[in-house]
Amino acid sequence: MYCQSNDELLELVNEARKVAKDGKVADYIPALGKANPGDLAVAIHYPDGTCLSAGDIERKITLQSISKVISLALVLMDRGYEHVFHHVGMEPTGDPFNSIAKLETMDVAKPLNPMINAGALAVTHLIIGSNVAERLQRLLKFIQTMAGNPDIGYCQEVAQSEFETAFLNRALCYFLKEHGIIKEDVEQLLDLYTKQCAIEMNCLDLARIGLVFAMDGVDPDSKAQVIPKDVARICKTFMVTCGMYNASGEFAIKIGIPAKSGVSGGIMGAVPRKFGIGVFGPALDEKGNSIAGIKFLEQLSRNYSLSMF
């Protein structure tokens, strides 16, 4: 038996919110620094259409790194397995999400996985379309379908703020370009990547996307296969091994569900064949994951025995 009511959920939110004061809002992207560190919002989406939510659910968040798992799904559908994994690897790094260190120590300078920034840039580079606007539109359409919400767009202010300050991501791009992993103009790729990261939604939309991954790529309402089962499987595997960056091991032990975090404080969870979860709590721990969001998921997983291991 899983969580049955908004009240049950609210109790968990109120308890988890207490640790938000120990975290810090990301401000290396200046526009993200405006978030309220005390906010916490959660939503759970079940396959029968039931959706529970609690907390500051009217808040919208930008996906940031959560977008990486969705762009990976699109690119695997666009280009196929061989082509994608020619450009990016499958191994966790144990390093922070924006680390440049491993690139130079590898035999082949390809990023170790699609969830670190270097790997995500290599993946976004593969989104098909004749210009940035068309590529972004294809990604947005894909996300709108998964969320069941045609109004999802991106936040121009956050995209612009990241574009103006993304010096480390520019460095990663130039390194990848030097080694032939990416071919396109770096500014053009950053334009697309920062808009991708600034795609904005509430935690109910996020839970709905998590549900599509949880249901092996099947839309719970239309029953359409919006992501091939095998692509959904690959994405969920990356969520387990690298979804929470260098906290993925601890997250797997303590919580045990495929999940992907972002520096905006979002976490998308996909409990296989059971439900999708959307969390938003902008105060982050030292590894860049929502501190109250993780606390909430820990308690949820314990109460309802959600670990897949």
> Is 19 tagged catalytic?
no
Query: Looking at 72-80, 99-107, 143-151, 259-267, which segment touches ligand DON (CB under 6 A)?
Result: 259-267
What is the Cα–Cα distance from 165 to 191, expressed in whole angstroms? Answer: 12
Q: Is 169 in the site for ligand DON (CB under 6 A)?
A: yes
Query: Measured from the CB of residue 211, what is the shortest distance to ligand DON in angstroms?
Result: 21
Q: Is 65 in the site for ligand DON (CB under 6 A)?
A: yes
What is the Cα–Cα distance from 286 to 295, expressed in whole angstroms? Answer: 14
Supply 89's token pair.
């690897």
Contacts of 299 (CB under 8 A, 6+ apart): 12, 15, 16
The contact pattern for ligand DON, residues 180-199, with x = CB under 6 A and - = no contact, is -----------------x--
Query: Measured from the CB of residue 225, what is the shortest distance to ligand DON in angstroms?
Result: 28
Q: Is 97 in the site for ligand DON (CB under 6 A)?
A: yes
Query: Looking at 106-114, 148-156, 233-241, 258-266, which segment touches ligand DON (CB under 6 A)?
Result: 258-266
Q: Is 98 in the site for ligand DON (CB under 6 A)?
A: yes
Selected from 93, 117, 246, 301, the binder of ligand DON by CB under 6 A is 117
- 112/263 with CB nearer ligand DON: 263
Query: Measured from the CB of residue 98, what is the shortest distance to ligand DON in angstroms?
Result: 6
> Is 263 tagged catalytic?
yes
Query: Looking at 104-112, 180-188, 251-259, 261-269, which segment touches ligand DON (CB under 6 A)?
Result: 261-269
> Is 245 tagged catalytic?
yes
Supply 135's token pair.
């590529």
Q: Is 263 in the site for ligand DON (CB under 6 A)?
A: yes
Q: Are 23 and 288 in contact (CB under 8 A)?
A: no
Supply 90's token pair.
């499958």
Print burial letters for 293-305: b (CB count within 10 Å at least 16), e (below 16).
Answer: bbbbbebbbeeee
Query: Measured from the CB of residue 230, what is the shortest distance to ligand DON in angstroms?
Result: 26
**Residues present in the chain in total:** 309
Selected from 20, 52, 123, 162, the binder of ligand DON by CB under 6 A is 162
Query: Measured from the CB of residue 100, what is the shortest distance to ligand DON in angstroms?
Result: 12
Asked whether the CA dihedral 297, 75, 238, 35 is positive or negative, the reply is: negative
Selected from 37, 55, 217, 288, the binder of ligand DON by CB under 6 A is 288
CB neighbourhood size of 33 (10 A): 13
Query: Looking at 211-219, 221-229, 255-263, 269-277, which segment touches ligand DON (CB under 6 A)?
Result: 255-263
Query: Measured from the CB of residue 200, what is the shortest distance to ligand DON in angstroms?
Result: 13
Binding residues for ligand DON, rule: CB under 6 A, are 64-65, 97-98, 117, 162, 169, 197, 245, 261-263, 288
Q: Which residues are marked as active site?
A: 65, 68, 193, 245, 263
